[in-house]
Structure 1
Amino acid sequence: MLIPIKGLLSSEEAEKCRQVLMQEAWNDGRQTAGHVAINVKTNLQLSRDSQVAQQIGDLILDRLGAHPQFMSAVLPAKVLPPLFNRYESGGAYGNHVDNALLTLPNSSIKLRSDVSTTVFFSEPEQYEGGELVIQHSYGEERVKLAAGDAIVYPANSLHRVEPVTEGIRLAAFFWSQSLVASSEQRQMLYELDQSIQTLIMDHPESESIASLTHLYHNLLRHWSQT
């Protein structure tokens, strides 16, 4: 299930973030790559210690925490602080899958990476290439969104970033552990919730709203892991 979150940040906010990020000191992205990914990863990343990264990361999480579509799709239990990457001069990240278990910074708490999120800070016309390509059961989805938009997708999917041949691609990325581990169950809950919300808007007096909401919460109660 791939879910675009449009306008998480305004274009003006995204541009301000991009300008600040461009002034930061970037590190070789291979420093954080696993033993397999290191062979296919050629990008730059910001250190978690960067105050700019922490400030913009907090902004992203605040916006997503108040975004009903994100909350419905992800059902987050734990969320890692966002990281930031930069692709230019042919930089790319070949096919890989995200690590299943991650550690929350400055702690020993483990997080299961159920859902990946990428937030774009460069407009599509500011760089050539750089599409996020996500493989799923129906083929491949190529994602290149406007600055300020985000894409949410299963962390267990094989994915890559195509080479950036011109310009600079800046983005944030992070992982969430969901209350519902199964991507199939999360998708069913998301579709049911979206149907309920549409029914509320179109037919607020419908008696079906209560029964469908009852079903939604009982499924969530049955499938959630707390």
Structure 2
Amino acid sequence: MMIQIPDVLTPDEVAHCRAVLDAAEWIDGNATSGFQAAAAKTNQQLPQDGAAAREVGAIIIQALQANPLFVSAALPRTILPPLFNRYGVGMGFADHVDNAIRRDPSTGQPLRTDLSITVFLSQPEDYDGGELVVEDAYGSHLVKLEAGAAILYPASSLHHVTLVTRGVRTASFFWIQSLVRDDARRALLLDMDVAIQRLSSAVGVADPSVLSLTGTYHNLLRMWAEV
């Protein structure tokens, strides 16, 4: 399940985040890579423990936690701190799959990476190339969104970033451990939640059909959630 989440950040928030990031000191993206990633990746990355990453990361997390579509689609249990990368001309990231387990840098606790998310921080007209390409059972999906929008997809997906041929692509990327591990179950719950909202608008929240569907949703969540 791939979900586009528009307007995670407002234009003012994007402008502020970019001002902070553009003034920060970037390092070689392979400073934190394993052997396989280092062979596939050429980009720049922001030091995770730096002031810029912490400030902008906090803005992104707060915005996502207030976004109903993100909460409904991800059912987040734990959100890892956002990372930031930058691709200039000639930079890209070949096909790879994200690590299944990552450690929370603040606690050292190992966390399962159920979902990957990219929040775009450059306008698409500001660079050529740099598309995120995600492979799933239905084929290849090319993603290049407006600044402030996000794409959420299973971390088990094969994906890559195409070479940038003009301009600079700046983005945030990180991972979520969901309350519901299975992607198909998360997709079903999201469909049910959307149906509940639409039905509630049409017939009212107290209608028996709404109450019945809501009860089914929560019963499934009780069975599938890992807390």
TM bracket, shorter-chain basis: over 0.9
Instruction: Return structure 1 stretches of 4+ with deviation > 3 angstroms.
Output: none
The alignment partner of 1:142 has SS state of strand
Match of 2:58 in 1: 58
Structure 2 CA distance for aligned equivalents of residues 108 and 169 of structure 1: 30
Please show how residues 142-181 of structure 1 align to structure 2 within 5 Å: 142-181=142-181
| Residue-by-residue CA offset, 1:61-93 (whole Å, 9 max, x unaligned) | 111111111011011111111000000021101
Contact 2:20–2:56 under 8 Å retained in 1: no
Unaligned 5+ runs, structure 1: none
Q: Specify the code of the residue in structure 1 equivalent to 2:92.
A: A
Residue 13 of structure 1 deviates from its aligned partner by 2.1
Match of 1:184 in 2: 184
Match of 1:210 in 2: 211
1:32 aligns with 2:28: no
| Residue-by-residue CA offset, 1:33-69 (whole Å, 9 max, x unaligned) | 2221111100100001211111110011111111111
The alignment partner of 2:35 has SS state of coil
1:103 aligns with 2:126: no
Match of 1:18 in 2: 18
Percent of aligned positions that are identical: 48
Structure 2 CA distance for aligned equivalents of residues 18 and 126 of structure 1: 13
Structure 2 CA distance for aligned equivalents of residues 83 and 146 of structure 1: 19
Structure 2 CA distance for aligned equivalents of residues 45 and 21 of structure 1: 10
TM-score when normalising by structure 2: 0.97
Structure 2 CA distance for aligned equivalents of residues 16 and 61 of structure 1: 15
Q: Specify the code of the residue in structure 2 equivalent to 1:208.
A: S
User: What is the aligned-residue RMSD (CA, Å)?
Assistant: 1.0
Number of aligned positions between the proteins = 226
TM-score when normalising by structure 1: 0.97
